[in-house]
Homo-oligomer: A and B are copies of this chain.
Amino acid sequence: MALPREYAGQACSIAKALEIVGERWTLLIVRDAAYGVRRFSDFVTHLDIPRRVLTERLKFLVEEGILEKQPAGGREEYALTDKGLALFPVIRALAAWGDEYTSPGGRRRILRHVACGTILERTGRCPECDLYPPVGDIESSPGPGLPALTDDDDEVTRALARPCRLLEPLVLQR
């Protein structure tokens, strides 16, 4: 599979960013990491991605300093670095656009400022506190546009059907 790191003629920060995160699956891995997915097997479960592809993407994201490996009880987990957390506005902007134009039932997920419980504006600003909460101070909960769970849904999808604080490891019923 061709890598997208080939926008050679583009002296542009958008192109440079896409050379790093524009590859298929990459931003969904970053999204999952923000939701609290940390283990290789949980990324596989939730994304339904070939293990070989996930291995490549995680390796590249670690090399680029977007994820870091952390030891966790005899295994390794992946966590977003500051550079990775700085991608959250990209994720949030994609989500806002996807909610508006691909979700007839309304928002699929709702982001709130944990400190005050206020729903964030599309820009990521908390109108109550007049600030842009850091990722770890945001709670994500299902919105009206999110489909109901089915028996086929995996445990990560099930965990995300409950409100969860971003960056905190997801509580999975294994």
Contact B86 A14 (CB under 8 A): no
With an 8 Å Cβ cutoff, the count of chain A residues facing the other chain is 53
Binary per-residue interface labels of chain A (14-46) against chain B in the complex, 1 for a CB within 8 Å, 0 otherwise: 111110111010011001000000000000000
Contact A107 B18 (CB under 8 A): no
Contact B14 A28 (CB under 8 A): yes
**This protein's copies in its complex:** 2
Contact A83 B101 (CB under 8 A): yes
Contact A20 B102 (CB under 8 A): yes
Distance of A68 Cα from B2 Cα, bound (Å) = 30
User: Given the complex, which residues of B lie within 8 Å of A9, measured CB to CB?
Assistant: 47-48
Cβ distance A43 to chain B, nearest Cβ, rounded Å? 13
Q: Which of A91-111 contact B (CB under 8 A)?
A: 91-103, 107-109
Q: Which of A112-170 contact B (CB under 8 A)?
A: 122-125, 132, 145-147, 157
